[in-house]
């Protein structure tokens, strides 16, 4: 593997610094706006492309003292590294462990060995990774309908209003109706996530983490039927699994799903006759994630020596650069839902919004289901027109700061909107859980740590 020159290491270092500065675990809005103003992401893609032309074998080792760092530049290498999880490329990289242990020390993503395998199995079982429609999908659709109906947007949809509604949906789906209004739980999580952005540079707040876990445990103990917590309670798990320890990641990752859906609204044509069936809306979410990935960087550490790089080398993949590669996609800077509708996106290893291989996101289908339903429900009830629309024919920006997006909210188009096959009852084909399994409103109880 070739070593980058000092100049190229500095150039690559600037790209990586601008990626990390955005906040890999919790976005730093002001920094994202500043980097968007500099058009840092697009400049970064250009730098990476130049490096690929120069260092033709797809991997280049940067001259960083103290830590071997390898930049992954070709899709062939992306494929072999992501397929090599958890050995010889572990997803539990040193930096990721330092960051994520601030709030999820036993999450599968930062686990090794048999513990990882057991935790992965549990995640897949509860999130129903292999199923396009989760067994509680009908209940989740109902939760989304109720929360969209309850949200008062007052003529304008802002990130604050959207995320308040989305977090209610998320808490009900993950923890059950009894957690609907527990905003404090998410505030605690976000404080820990903001520390996680600094990885080892910020001391751990063990007290806050314990209080967060205690509060979470209170909701999990209810094991509400119809929620993920209910399923978790009835899914077999060995002693090394720590079922409750998997849930902080779910809450954290559902935030990304909300961001992706909110940005997708910017891509969707507002015209009443625009296509709006579930498959199309899910393709829009995938496009939102392709154009503006919520996972800014994929890190792997080698567990043994590979290709002349010592064990413990850090392998860095920047998904957005591959997602916008003009050598691999016809129109990388345009909204192209057909990429996903045609199945070409699924087959293309340059596209990795949910990562790929054995450590790919086990929540992918659940995300597509819930965000697709959310967009369908929003569009059924409202017309949403971006206050600052994108130019449909022009290249889409490299960065979109989601908290700055606003949509004018109007009445839905007169007459029934053609939602396409199946959307009027999108989960009609799926057996709805029996009434006794449906989520019942929980009795109000005191949450630990509340006033």
- Which sign, positive or negative, has the C-alpha torsion 348, 49, 35, 387? negative
What number of residues does the chain have? 451
Q: Is 127 in the site for ligand HEM (CB under 6 A)?
A: yes
For residue 417, the minimal CB distance to ligand HEM (Å) is 25
For residue 152, the minimal CB distance to ligand HEM (Å) is 26
- Write the secondary structure of the chain as one string of H (helix), E (strand) and C (coil): CEECCHHHHHHHHHHHHHHHHCCCCCCCHHHHHHHHHCCHHHHHHHHHHHHHHHCCCCEEEECCCCCCEEEECCHHHHHHHHHCCCCCEECCCHHHHHHHCCCCCCCHHHCCHHHHHHHHHHHHHHHCCCCCCCCCHHHHHHHHHHHHHHCCCCCEEEHHHHHHHHHHHHHHHHHCHHHCCCHHHHHHHHHHHHHHCCHHHCCCCHHHHHHHHHHHHHHHHHCCCCCHHHHHHHCCCCCCCCCHHHHHHHHHHHHHHHHHHHHHHHHCCCCCCCCCCHHHHHHHHHHHHHHCCCCCCEEEEECCCECCECCCCEEEECHHHHHCCCCCCCCCCCCCCHHHHCCHHHHCCCCCCCCCHHHCCCCHHHHHHHHHHHHHHHHHHCEEEECCCCCCCCCCCCCCCHHHCEEEEECCCCCCCCCCCCCCCCCCCCCCCCHHHCCCCCCCCCCCCCC
Which residue lies nearer to ligand HEM by CB, 271 or 346?
A: 346
Which residue lies nearer to ligand HEM by CB, 61 or 120?
A: 120
Figure out which of the listed residues 366, 369, 375, 400 binds ligand HEM, where binding follows CB under 6 A. Answer: 366
Contacts with ligand HEM in 51-110 (CB under 6 A)?
91, 108-109
393, HSE (Cβ side, Cα atoms, 13 Å)? 0
Q: Which residue is nearest to ligand HEM (CB)?
A: 363
For residue 366, the minimal CB distance to ligand HEM (Å) is 6
Q: Is 226 in the site for ligand HEM (CB under 6 A)?
A: no
Which residue lies nearer to ligand HEM by CB, 382 or 402?
A: 402
Interface stretch with ligand HEM, choices 36-44, 46-54, 136-144, 358-366 (CB under 6 A): 358-366
For residue 313, the minimal CB distance to ligand HEM (Å) is 16
For residue 53, the minimal CB distance to ligand HEM (Å) is 27
Which residue lies nearer to ligand HEM by CB, 169 or 298?
A: 298
Figure out which of the listed residues 84, 345, 353, 426 binds ligand HEM, where binding follows CB under 6 A. Answer: 353
- Which sign, positive or negative, has the C-alpha torsion 33, 38, 43, 44? negative
Contacts with ligand HEM in 278-317 (CB under 6 A)?
289, 294-295, 298
Interface stretch with ligand HEM, choices 35-43, 218-226, 351-359, 407-415 (CB under 6 A): 351-359
For residue 421, the minimal CB distance to ligand HEM (Å) is 25
Figure out which of the listed residues 282, 355, 399, 439 binds ligand HEM, where binding follows CB under 6 A. Answer: 355
Contacts with ligand HEM in 244-273 (CB under 6 A)?
249-250, 253-254, 256-257, 260
Strand ordering across the sheet containing 156-158: 156-158, 406-410, 383-386
For residue 139, the minimal CB distance to ligand HEM (Å) is 15
Which residue lies nearer to ligand HEM by CB, 294 or 313?
A: 294
For residue 86, the minimal CB distance to ligand HEM (Å) is 8
Give the number of residues in contact with ligand HEM, rule: CB under 6 A: 26
For residue 286, the minimal CB distance to ligand HEM (Å) is 9
Interface stretch with ligand HEM, choices 359-367, 399-407, 417-425, 434-442 (CB under 6 A): 359-367
For residue 10, the minimal CB distance to ligand HEM (Å) is 26
- The residues of the shown chain that bind ligand HEM, judged by CB under 6 A, are 91, 108-109, 120, 123, 127, 249-250, 253-254, 256-257, 260, 289, 294-295, 298, 353-355, 359, 361-363, 366-367
């Amino acid at each position: 593997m070739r070593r980058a020159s000092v100049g190229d290491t500095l150039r690559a270092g600037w790209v990586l610094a601008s990626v990390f500065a955005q906040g890999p675990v919790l976005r730093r809005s002001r920094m994202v706006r500043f980097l968007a103003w500099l058009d840092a992401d697009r400049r970064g893609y250009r730098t990476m492309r130049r490096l690929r032309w120069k260092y033709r074998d797809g991997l280049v080792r940067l001259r960083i003292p103290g830590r071997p760092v390898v930049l992954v530049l070709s899709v062939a290498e992306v494929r072999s590294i992501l397929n090599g999880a958890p050995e010889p490329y572990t997803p539990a990289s040193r930096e990721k462990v330092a960051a994520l242990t601030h709030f999820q020390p036993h999450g599968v993503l930062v686990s090794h060995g048999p513990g990882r395998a057991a935790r992965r199995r549990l995640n897949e079982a509860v999130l129903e990774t292999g199923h396009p429609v989760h067994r509680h999908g009908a209940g989740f659709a109902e939760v989304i309908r109720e929360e969209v109906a309850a949200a008062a947007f007052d003529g304008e949809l802002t990130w604050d209003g959207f995320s308040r509604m989305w977090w209610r949906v998320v808490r009900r789906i993950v923890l059950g109706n009894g957690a609907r209004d527990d905003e404090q739980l998410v505030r605690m999580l976000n404080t820990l996530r903001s520390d996680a952005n600094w990885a080892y540079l910020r001391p751990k707040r063990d007290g806050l983490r314990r209080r967060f876990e205690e509060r979470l445990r209170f909701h999990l103990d209810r094991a509400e039927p119809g929620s993920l917590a209910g399923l978790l309670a009835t899914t077999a798990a060995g002693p090394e699994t720590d079922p409750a320890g998997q849930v902080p990641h779910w809450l954290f990752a559902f935030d990304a799903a909300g961001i992706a859906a909110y940005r997708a609204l910017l891509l969707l044509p507002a015209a009443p006759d625009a296509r709006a069936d579930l498959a199309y809306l899910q393709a829009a979410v995938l496009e939102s994630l392709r154009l503006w990935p919520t996972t800014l960087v994929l890190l792997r550490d080698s567990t043994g020596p590979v290709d002349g790089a010592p064990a413990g080398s850090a392998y860095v993949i920047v998904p957005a650069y591959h997602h916008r590669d003009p050598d691999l996609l016809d129109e990388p800077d345009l909204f192209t839902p057909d990429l996903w509708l045609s199945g070409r996106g699924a087959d293309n290893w340059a596209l990795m919004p949910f990562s790929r291989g054995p450590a790919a996101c086990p929540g992918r289908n659940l995300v597509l289901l819930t965000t697709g339903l959310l967009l369908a429900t929003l569009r059924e009830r409202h017309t949403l027109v971006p206050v600052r629309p994108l130019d449909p024919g022009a290249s889409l920006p490299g960065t979109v700061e989601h908290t700055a997006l606003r949509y004018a909210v109007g009445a839905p188009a007169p007459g029934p909107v053609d939602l396409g096959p199946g959307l009027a009852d999108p989960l009609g084909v799926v057996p709805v859980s029996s009434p006794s399994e449906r989520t019942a409103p929980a009795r109000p109880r005191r949450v630990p740590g509340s006033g």
